Structure 1
Amino acid sequence: MLLSPKDEDPSLPEPPSSPWRTKAKIAARRSSNIKRCAIIVASLAFCVPIFLLLNSTNTIYDSARWVPTTTNNDTLNTLSIPSERLDTPLPLPSPAESPLVNTTKEVPVSPIAFSLIMYSENSAAEGAILVKSILMYTSVPVEVHIICDDSARTYLERRISLVKHPRNNVLIRFYNLQFHQMLARIEREGAITTDHSAGIPGLMKLFIHEILPTSVKKSIFIDTDAFFISDPSLLWNHFNSLDPNIAISMPTHMEQSAPEWHNANRICSCIMLLDLDKLRKLRLMDSINYRNHPGGTEALSPPAFRDMFGPPGPTGHYEDVKLGDQGYWWAIVSFRKEIFEHLSFDWEVSSCLMDMYMTGLGNDDATEQDEIAVQLHTWETVHQGQAILPKLVHFNCLDGVDRYYEWSGWSDPSNSLAKRWSATLNYHVGYKWLWLNQASTNDTILTIETVQDVIFLDESSTEPS
């Protein structure tokens, strides 16, 4: 057993007091509040250095760039960064590069213009989906000029009026064209007629440049049984790439042949880019008013029609011109090739003859080669070897119904067209007009106008000479 010096010799003096014990005794006599303060100060003195150390470590990790790695170098591209750069902090953007600094100036965007024909409520029921798709996808203001009758206008107004604040400004202008006015213009032309199901209203596609005011310089025409699945401004911008002399652009299928139709199936007037200003100056369609008052440009259509169809028949009309207006357009663009240009199949994905080129919804990772491998009807066309990328879909030739979206094949799970396109159809048919109120402010408006007294250009004093 070890003994302390005191135990060994009781005569030894007491050891000197420990400084730590002395301070402890003094501290014990202090109030409890002061004790707590001392403990807090001591804790902070211990924790702050540790916190700063950890924060410094995180900053180093945040400054380094992560380099992805993969075990399959054939399918993924690995980003390679020199190791010495991993510890180099990323440079901060300068004020001019900062996304918070808006250095751009807003430039007013001119509206894109559409010219549509809807004559009957059934036609309007189809065309309403087309107009809806325009408003759904457009990134710029639009004007929609609709040549129609009272029943079509009533049907459309009921839906369009639900849109109070569209994403962009919208003008809807109805041209209330009476049937007798259409017949009168056909009679003034003198030689055209039709046995197509679209009837006389369908022939009005040849007179759009005469019905719309001269202030409308260009327009996109689309049949009512089609709708957009992309931004219409992409199509409008195609005007900028046309040669200066081009007045008409539509899809062509020069590999097709139908002598009984004069091969008019080699074009599709279902979608057209129309330079209305050029068509007015060309005097696209003839009129007795031009013949009775010689002067100015000779009408384009008479020599074009005679070149393809020969002279009019005993009744004074061209006989056996099939496909309605398309037969006459075919004669015009064949006769004056220099004013015509092909429009990409991307804008004419059609269920009529082309079976939509066998494209449609499916594997979302399909490659361009995957698409080309299953495509139909592009061989020996200008798009041979190219993948068709649908931007507008056209559900024509679905016989037996007045409205294409009521076709019985859509409910057939084994139908090829339904498998590829029914989901797209149902979405656009069911999309509510009310949902088009997408503006975050009150700066955008939708304007509806009606022109009751339509005057064709051949009867107007503004007809260009």
Structure 2
Amino acid sequence: MSFNRQFLEASPLSTSPPASPWRARAEVLRRRPLRFRQIAFVIASVTFLCSFVFLSRYRADDRRVWISLEDEYPSDLQVVDTGGLAAHGGQRLPPQHQHAHVPALAPQVPVPDTLHQDDTHVKEPPKPPEAVVFSLIMFSEDSAVEGAMLMKSILMYTSMPVEFHIVCDEAAQAYLENRVRLITRPAHDILVRFYLLSWQSMADRIDREGTIMTDHSAGVPGLMKLFIHEILPPSVPRAIFIDTDALFISDPALLWDRFAQLAPGAAIAIPTHPEMSAAEWHHANRICSCIMLLDLARLRALRLMDSRVYRAHGGVRALGPQAFRAMYGPPGPSGRFEDVKLGDQGYWYALVSHRPDLTEHLGFEWEVSSCLLDMYLTGLGDDARGVEDEQRGQVHTVSTPQEGEAVLPKMLHFNCLDGTPHYFEWEGWADPENSLTKRWWPAVQYHIGYKWIWLNAHRAKGTLRIEVERDVKFADELLEQELMESRADEQS
């Protein structure tokens, strides 16, 4: 509300009410000289400020001692044990909390009881969120085309940062990097590290092992699944391996949490099908190496795979030769195990059979596989169905670790779809009467058609890092190099 000059100067005889006393005093002050008003304003401001500071520092109901912890103190200060700051529950705190130095008069100031509570420790800054770590293998652009879809599905659903450690060739790297760089505003931190391996480098590592070979369509790159712990550096202690022909339909953090549930000493979690039987494959179809949780640090300590470098050096005896001989007998005339089927899966089955204490079952929800043709008879549709009804209609769970338990899909694996380099181009998808098409083709269409640019968040909360390791060496090569350098130092 404002008042005009006419009202302030109105006659006492006016019928209008007189101005309030505070406005009259304001009018008198207004008529004073300008210098007087300035001085009065300064004095009032200084008085108010001093009063505020005095009352803030010396409130009678809340006096505190503020102690600064530093590395060096003047010699005229006295060490004071403040009780709650130096001890808790009768136990002395670590030395770094016991050097509270204040002047000798400090104990005369009463310290409130609140200092004796559990909030006396300095809070550490929050740790960055843990990343979900994947190790993938892709050689050729065809492999990368499928692998890119897997990576995209991971980024679609993840609630945590993600690391991709990709063993690949330059063709796969170029394709994948082109897709990943479309993400300019990531919702979480993303690390993509390419480990470029030549065909000769992979073949040489297999030769140094000396006994394994493969006639599987995955070829030499497929055997690299047995050497992930040697390719990735020790700074990567564990990782999830997945074949490229798969799609996530849920948060991969749920799968990463499974690491925390592994028993002490376990190094591998893998889907197991003890009810399966195939004598011609030595029953290697009882597992699926299409998805594995790998404790890489544990596998390194066990020395999973052998090498002539390890044999010459001695030390820890490799686990592989023991397991392979136990299942397949001695190597054939070529010095190789010639009767191993299903590629790397045959060797993994020998390993987990020989050392079951290292292995745990990974739930079928992470391996809804078209190699089972009907994929447990689960699929899209009837969204109001309950768990009991879902379980009642499913197959391939009897005599398995999940008997009587419904399989609730979290990842789809479209393997065994022959005749196409890319599962999403399988000719069966064109048949509307095909059971697999009815249950899963809409999911495939959605994830394949989802654009990479849609992964950009409204506001970037993470960063994208792309790294390339070109001079990749296996662990046995690094050991040999270390031994040679050590001998050179001794001779010099």
TM range (shorter): 0.7 to 0.9
Partner of 1:393, secondary structure, is strand
Aligned pairs for 1:1-400 (under 5 A) are 107-295=127-315, 297-353=316-372, 355-400=374-419
2:463 aligned to which of 445, 455, 458: 445
Q: Partners of 1:300 and 1:319 in 2: how far apart?
A: 19
- 1:101-146 Cα offsets, whole Å, 9 max, x none, are xxxx965212111000001111100000000011111101110000
Runs of 4+ in 1 over 3 A off after TM superposition: 461-465
How many angstroms does 1:354 deviate by? 5.0
Paired AA for residue 187 in structure 2: R
- 1:224-254 Cα offsets, whole Å, 9 max, x none, are 0001101101000100000110001100000
Partner of 1:435, secondary structure, is helix
How many angstroms does 1:464 deviate by? 12
- 1:34-70 Cα offsets, whole Å, 9 max, x none, are xxxxxxxxxxxxxxxxxxxxxxxxxxxxxxxxxxxxx
Name 1:421's counterpart in structure 2.
Answer: 440
Distance 1:219 1:439, change over 3 A: farther
Distance 1:294 1:165, change over 3 A: same
> For structure 1, which runs of at least 5 residues remain unmatched after alignment?
1-104
> For structure 2, which runs of at least 5 residues remain unmatched after alignment?
1-124, 484-492
The TM-score normalised by the length of structure 1 is: 0.76
Name 1:61's counterpart in structure 2.
Answer: none
Paired AA for residue 462 in structure 2: T
Distance 1:142 1:462, change over 3 A: farther
Paired AA for residue 450 in structure 1: V
- 1:392-433 Cα offsets, whole Å, 9 max, x none, are 100000000010000011121101000000000001001000
Q: Is the 8 A contact 1:280 1:463 kept in 2?
A: no
Q: Partners of 2:373 and 2:353 in 1: how far apart?
A: 22
Distance 1:221 1:286, change over 3 A: same
Aligned pairs for 1:398-417 (under 5 A) are 398-417=417-436
How many angstroms does 1:337 deviate by? 0.8
How many angstroms does 1:319 deviate by? 1.3
Distance 1:462 1:369, change over 3 A: farther
Distance 1:462 1:376, change over 3 A: farther
Distance 1:240 1:463, change over 3 A: farther
2:475 aligned to which of 453, 457, 463: 457
Q: Is the 8 A contact 1:281 1:464 kept in 2?
A: no
Q: Is the 8 A contact 1:354 1:376 kept in 2?
A: no
Distance 1:140 1:119, change over 3 A: same
RMSD of Structure 2 on Structure 1 (CA): 1.5
Partner of 1:243, secondary structure, is coil
- 1:294-331 Cα offsets, whole Å, 9 max, x none, are 12x10000111100000000000001100000000000
Larger radius of gyration: 1
Q: Is the 8 A contact 1:250 1:343 kept in 2?
A: yes
Identity in percent: 61
Q: Partners of 2:132 and 2:414 in 1: how far apart?
A: 24
Partner of 1:352, secondary structure, is helix
Q: Partners of 2:482 and 2:190 in 1: how far apart?
A: 29
The TM-score normalised by the length of structure 2 is: 0.71
1:432 aligns with 2:451: yes
